[in-house]
Structure 1
Amino acid sequence: MHRARKRFGQNFLQDEGVIYSIVALIKPAPEMHVIEIGPGLGALTRPLLRNLEQLDLLEIDRDLVAYWNQQNLDGLKVIEGDALQFNFSEWAKNRTDKKGLCKVVGNLPYNISSPLLFHLVAAANDVDEQIFMLQAEVVERMVATAGSSEFSRLSVMMQARYDMELVLEVPPEAFDPQPKVNSAVVRMIPRKDFDLSSTQWGALEQVVAAAFSQRRKMLRTNLQAYSERLKLTEIELKARAQDISVQRYIEWAKILAA
């Protein structure tokens, strides 16, 4: 029996009702191209595979890679690797018949969730949908609206690239071992109206990082280096980073990149 490992942030999902709900959200269909990050003992893997021709698993834990290779399940492809290094764009493009939707799913290890979300942005042009279970407070930050205390650098960057929705809340009792926090499932669909070049995206990362560098300080202080070029209004100079809309940050990024 595989024991959950702390260093990989493993907590295995075991609540049948929650599993059913997540699989229903993913809507697996035979021609779909799906990769599951960190399958664990297969709470999602087995029900997904029942509805897919092929399912790719990305797993870093050697014991679990061996476990899945021993299962000899039809249509299952096991990839040993680190999700933070994995090329999701290449994976998305690398399919013979480009018929079904392309989805990235998983119960993400909580210790790498933010860096992994940023890493996945690079593949957003090639992926149709991402459905992840994460720590509830991370999902709340991802979907927070401007003006709220949860609104953060993560909110701006994720909302600039995806339309997102918190679709399910999951209590600690759904897992073994039980995490000390609540979890939630988020659906992420790359924005159809996204039009930033890589230079503009880089500028967005810079201006957002600067704006949120000291949350309690006004933008007069945090964006001092940029205020000339951005021609900040008096109201904006007195505002704090969480008071500015995602759209405004995008406008600023375009000015800085020009």
Structure 2
Amino acid sequence: MSDFAPHRARKRFGQNFLHDPGVINNILRAVAPREGQHLVEIGPGQGAITEGLLESGARLDVVELDHDLHPLLLARFGANTRFELHKGDALKFDFSQLAPAGEKLRVVGNLPYNISTPLMFHLLKQSDCIGDMHFMLQKEVVQRLAAGAGMNHYGRLGIMVQYHCQVEHLFDVGPGAFKPAPKVDSAIVRLTPHAQLPHPAEDPAMLELVVREAFNQRRKTLRNTLKPLLSEADIIAEDLDPTLRPEQVDLAGFVRLANRLARQATEDAQA
């Protein structure tokens, strides 16, 4: 690494480089990589976690957008036959190309806060080839991912991610673990795609629509916020109280509403 000048974190990439050895070890213990597994690291930065992932004996593909980091990563890890660098934007990357049929990727990343939500949904669209995901995110985002009905942080993000995955809020990380230190706390989350969806929607797009409409005015009741989509009688027919607020309705309830809307749309199209 001595051949390269220190890399300055770039604001436009949302970079905050992890440097705390204790936090790095905690992350590696949580991921628990093993020989023979196939890992993908998104945004390896200066390689703080990369080194430990490779030491496990696992294969490792990394996706890094910042071209100034490419020579540094190649100098540190390029001689390792189990390491491969992909230069590009993870938001546009086809992760399924890394996984032969039947293989499951394990994804790890310290995600820039400004792209964390769209990147998670980009990965969930490819969840057939993903075994699990471990991400460093803003603590508030992890709280939203993990929240259940009735909890303060419960909303659209948590419902849609929990539809696809089991969510585990593993541990929190303070700003001092990074250079430069962010202005917010971070947390590590584990997302494990469901082998079988516990509450399958007949049309996932309808679920997205119902949840979006419900939380557009989260202080209003279901009867009012879902009025453009479903009648009060429709809501009651799905065993839900129309006077509930959206944050009081669990995932299963939203799926029931979405399935009713999907059936009505099909009936209307056939009429």
- Within the candidate set 208, 213, 231, 2:211 is matched to 208
Query: Residue by residue, what CA displacement relative to the aligned partner does 1:12-43 show, whole Å, maximum 9, x if unpaired?
Result: 11111110010111111111111000001111
What TM-score do the two structures reach when normalised by structure 2?
0.88
Q: Does 1:249 align with 2:254?
A: yes
- Within the candidate set 28, 34, 40, 2:45 is matched to 40
Structure 1 counterpart of 2:16, one-letter code: N
Tell which structure's C-alpha radius of gyration is larger.
2
Structure 1 residue runs of 5 or longer lacking an equivalent are: none
What is the 5 A alignment of 1:169-208? 169-194=172-197, 200-208=203-211
Offset of 1:230 from its aligned partner? 7.3
What TM-score do the two structures reach when normalised by structure 1?
0.92
* Structure 2 contact 171–188 (Cα < 8 Å) conserved: yes
Partner Cα separation in structure 1 for residue 127 and residue 233 of structure 2 = 28
Partner Cα separation in structure 1 for residue 161 and residue 24 of structure 2 = 25
* Structure 2 contact 223–232 (Cα < 8 Å) conserved: no
SS of 1:227 mapped into structure 2: coil
Structure 1 counterpart of 2:188, one-letter code: V
SS of 2:7 mapped into structure 1: coil
- Within the candidate set 228, 231, 235, 2:234 is matched to 231
Structure 1 counterpart of 2:79, one-letter code: L
Shift of the 245–230 alpha-carbon distance from structure 1 to 2, 3 Å rule, reads: farther
Structure 2 counterpart of 1:122, one-letter code: K
Residue identity over aligned pairs, in percent, reads: 41
- Within the candidate set 27, 49, 54, 2:32 is matched to 27
Structure 1 counterpart of 2:166, one-letter code: D
- Root-mean-square deviation over aligned CA pairs: 2.0
Counterpart in the other structure of 2:79: 73
Shift of the 230–197 alpha-carbon distance from structure 1 to 2, 3 Å rule, reads: farther
Partner Cα separation in structure 1 for residue 138 and residue 243 of structure 2 = 33
Structure 2 residue runs of 5 or longer lacking an equivalent are: 1-5, 264-271
Offset of 1:250 from its aligned partner? 1.5
Partner Cα separation in structure 2 for residue 58 and residue 149 of structure 1 = 34
Aligned residues: 254
* Structure 2 contact 91–122 (Cα < 8 Å) conserved: yes
